[in-house]
Amino acid sequence: MVPDKTNPIWRKIVSYSDDYIFTTLATKLMMMRVKMIVENENTNKEENILQGIDIAYEYFKKNQSILIEDVDYLFKDKDGV
């Protein structure tokens, strides 16, 4: 199960996305978008992270039943499942 948006794991995922290995093409592309937002130096860092969390959370929440490998990898035994 995808954890609540307030779970600290989201901040870790969006801030250090290069440290993760994603399985599905859609997740890889979506996380690249998140990375570009988070690393944008022209806007507020904290706002960027929160925006990244919103995008990633909505994506995983909506698709959790079909992103089993990515969801298990990211959240299993990390207060998510």
Partner 1 sequence: MKSLCTLKEACELINQQKNLIIAGDEALLKQLPHGNWIGGSIPYFMTENGGVTSHDKLSVTLLTDDFEMVSIKQYSKELLKNIPDDYPENGLSFIIIPGDSASHFEYSENCSTWKGFYNSPIVGWISGIDLKDIGLKKPIVINGTTGEMEEESAIVMHLSLKSNKYCQINNINLFSQGNGDVITFPETGTEIKECFVNGEKILFSKYLHGKKISGDIPLVANYHGAFINVSFKSISSQEVFMYAPVFKGVQYKMASEVLNYEQRFVTELQKMKVKPLFTCNCILNYVFAHLEGKKIGDLVGPITFGEIAYILLNQTMVYVTVQDRK
**Helix (H) and strand (E) counts in the chain:** 4, 0
Among 4, 32, 69, 76, binds partner 1 (CB under 8 A): 32
When the beta carbons of 7 and 51 are compared against partner 1, the nearer one is 51
49 binds partner 1 (CB under 8 A): no
User: Considering Cα of 56, then 58, then 61, then 7, what sign does the dihedral take?
Assistant: positive
The window from 3-11, 20-28, 71-79 that contacts partner 1 (CB under 8 A) reads 20-28
Contact 59/30 with Cβ under 8 angstroms?
Answer: yes
Residue 61, H or E segment:
helix 45-63
Letter for the amino acid at 65? Answer: S
45 binds partner 1 (CB under 8 A): no
Contact set with partner 1 (CB under 8 A): 17-18, 20-22, 24-33, 35-36, 39-40, 55, 58-59, 62-63, 65-66, 68
